[in-house]
């Protein structure tokens, strides 16, 4: 067994509607509300990974517009790249990975989503020209 730490890279898409609300999913595997996203596959470009994850979890075709944050789960070794996305086509729907899909306001994000994932959405909503860089333990910011 190697002493080298192992890391994975995930991507997420914060889809912002024309009314300013954002799309969140309720994951089937843990019941948590989060932006759509998941692990980047080997050989897959980052942009394609964002589009694929959002499609798989919501049925939406999106265009990643800007990297709004980089987040590291310190306990699991996952680095997540979060992009603000524009919807191109589709109608949000539940999927094998999402038991619910909902458009929410900024205030609803604060009450519905755990801190480590809410901050990703809020950083995208309030993007000010440079990506946020944050660490968390899977639930709370560090």
- Parallel/antiparallel/unpaired status of strands 78-89 and 8-15: parallel
Please compute Rg for the chain using Cα positions.
14
pLDDT of residue 10: 97
Domains (ranges, CATH) in the chain? 8-136 (3.90.79.10)
> Could you tell me the pTM of the whole model?
0.93
* Burial class of residue 49 in the structure, from the number of CB atoms within 10 Å of its CB (0-12 exposed, 13-18 middle, 19+ buried): buried
pLDDT tens for the chain, residues 1 to 142: 556 668 899 999 999 999 999 999 999 999 999 999 999 999 999 999 999 999 999 999 999 999 999 999 999 999 999 999 999 999 999 999 999 999 999 999 999 999 999 999 999 999 999 999 999 998 999 9
The span from the CA of 86 to the CA of 138, in Å, is 26
């Amino acid at each position: 067994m190697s002493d080298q730490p192992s890391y994975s890279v995930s991507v997420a898409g914060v889809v912002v509607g024309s009314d300013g609300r954002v799309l969140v999913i309720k994951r089937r595997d843990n019941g948590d509300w989060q932006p759509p996203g998941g692990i980047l596959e080997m050989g897959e470009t980052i942009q394609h990974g964002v589009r694929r994850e959002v499609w798989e979890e919501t049925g939406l075709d999106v265009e990643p517009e800007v990297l709004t944050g980089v987040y590291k789960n310190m306990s699991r070794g996952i680095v997540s790249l979060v992009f603000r996305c524009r919807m191109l086509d589709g109608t949000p729907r539940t999927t094998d990975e999402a038991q619910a899909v909902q458009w929410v306001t900024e205030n609803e994000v604060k009450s519905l989503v755990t801190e480590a994932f809410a901050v990703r959405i809020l950083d995208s909503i309030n993007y000010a020209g440079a990506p946020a860089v944050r660490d968390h333990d899977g639930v709370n910011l560090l």
